[in-house]
Amino acid sequence: MAKVVEESGIPVALITALTTLARDVGAPRIVQGVRIPHPCGNPTLPPDGDRAIRRRIVLMALKALQTLVIEPTSFVDPDVLM
């Protein structure tokens, strides 16, 4: 779906823990998520820690949206991957 929306002229950043699959299907901007059931956070952390991870992922997605890409491109914040 991200690929189709992007082709219509709307930039898309897909946040997922399944980056290989996203690349295989041609998603344009792939933002590394944390885990499959919780790609945008880590509920096992204290609330402040989870909030910080969520914020970093959203900021990375915003950076991805501002980046011109020609082929599937991954965006990873190493501090998000624990």
The confidence score (pLDDT) of residue 82 equals 58
Give the residue extent of every domain in the chain: 2-74
Structure tokens at 51: 């909030």
CA distance 44 to 66: 31
What are the residue ranges in the chain where pLDDT is below 70?
82
Regarding pTM above 0.95, the answer is no
Q: Tens digits of per-residue pLDDT, 33-54? A: 999 999 999 899 999 999 999 9
The confidence score (pLDDT) of residue 1 equals 84
Residue percentage of the chain with pLDDT more than 70: 99
